[in-house]
Amino acid sequence: MYTIKTTNKSIKTDKLIKKYYDREKIENYCKQCENYNKIWSCPPYGFNTEKYVREFENIHIIGTQIIFDKTTIEEVNTKEKIKKFSIETILKERKKIFDKLIILESKFPGSKAINAGNCSICKKCTRINNKKCINENLIRYSLESLGFDVGKITSEVLGIDLKWSSDTLPEYLTMASGFLTNYNIDYI
């Protein structure tokens, strides 16, 4: 069906901010998303996202490629099938990464996981009804929601070009997650 390829790179958060942070520009993209202002792990935020990231010296960027085999690309062959299969696969793989990163946080106290997308712990986020998050200790933000250009990061830091396709499954889908830490960790 598919294989997973992971690529990691550790860089200083200062460098990441200088090269890839543009909160205003990225938030304008977020405003066009149906999740804007509807999920607590999505903008608008009531805190300074640059300051949040600067609390940490290092970030491990993790690129996860979901590489589809030929048969799957042939069989998942309508727009509806492609959408459903892509969403289900991404959610399944994203949860696996998220669970691993949360365990890693306990090994490196004070570190924070970066989620590969919005929080999807609850079926419907409480933000829709303007109620507090029911799992505040588990909210983790994505790079894009914090104001980073993820396309550029995956391409320039990890060497992975994002692939898009609506009529067929692309060769692969890419998720970008990460780990903010003040520890010097060689690999994740």
Which of 58/142 has CB closer to ligand SF4?
142
Burial of 166 (0-12, 13-18, 19+ CB in 10 A): exposed
Which of 27/149 has CB closer to ligand SF4?
27
Contact 169, 73 (CB under 8 A): yes
- Token pair for residue 90? 């991404």
Binding site for ligand SF4 (CB under 6 A): 39-41, 119, 121-122, 125-127, 133-135, 138-139
Burial of 85 (0-12, 13-18, 19+ CB in 10 A): middle
Report, in Å, the least distance between residue 83 CB and ligand SF4.
21
Report, in Å, the least distance between residue 42 CB and ligand SF4.
9
- Token pair for residue 141? 């933000």
Report, in Å, the least distance between residue 98 CB and ligand SF4.
11
Which of 135/182 has CB closer to ligand SF4?
135
Report, in Å, the least distance between residue 141 CB and ligand SF4.
10
Picking from 5, 109, 15, the residue whose alpha carbon sits closest to that of residue 53 is: 15
Which of 4/128 has CB closer to ligand SF4?
128
